[in-house]
Structure 1
Amino acid sequence: MSELKLPRLPDRKPVKLTIAVLPELHQALLDYAGVYAEVYGEEESVSELIPAMLAGFLASDRVFAKARKTDRASS
């Protein structure tokens, strides 16, 4: 059977990570969630915001993106 125009979807199963943060960072994350609620009128938990924050950080890091692209091309 030939392939469809739409490629096979990537694995979308979430991976659970457990991290420990310093109290100062925890408070900053709680403060961020509070500001988020004020700005958007919707409350989101810190655990819901962190994945989007990390994705945005990684997407904006040009050196990381270039290194990752180079690593993928060589493998």
Structure 2
Amino acid sequence: MTKLRISAIPDSRPVKLTIELPAEIHRDLLLYAKLVSGSAGQAVDPVPDAARLVPLMVGRFMETDRAFQKQRHSLAARAKPTGSDPGNAP
């Protein structure tokens, strides 16, 4: 049997987190959502859900954090199999 390159489908289900924000950050998040909804000139919800912005903001923050990306790639490289299994050949 041929060994497939994808051996397992990763779990991509959303994970729900409950967090508490300081009042000032919450006010700024609401303002940000309001500005986003009116800045692009696109048809969007009249009352944007600020919570929908949080995953986008966190994701963007991690994408642009060079130190995090460097360590992430370093850990991923260490976690890769060594290729000693003949079934792992490309």
**TM-score if structure 2 supplies the norm length?**
0.70
Residue by residue, what CA displacement relative to the aligned partner does 1:31-61 show, whole Å, maximum 9, x if unpaired?
Answer: 0000011013323311111101111110011
Moved more, 36-45 or 61-70: 36-45
Q: Percent identity?
A: 35
RMSD: 1.8
SS in 1 for 2:52: helix
The structure with the largest helix share of the pair is: 1
Aligned residues: 74
SS in 2 for 1:68: helix
Which residue number corresponds to residue 58 of structure 2?
54
Q: CA deviation at 1:4?
A: 5.1
SS in 2 for 1:26: helix
Matches within 5 A, 1:1-75: 1-3=1-3, 7=6, 8-40=8-40, 41=42, 42-43=44-45, 44-75=48-79
**Greater RCO (Cα-Cα under 8 Å, separation 6 or more):** 2
Post-superposition, which runs of at least 4 consecutive aligned residues in structure 1 deviate over 3 A?
Answer: none
Structure 2 gaps of 5+ residues are 80-90
Q: CA deviation at 1:70?
A: 1.1
**TM-score if structure 1 supplies the norm length?**
0.83
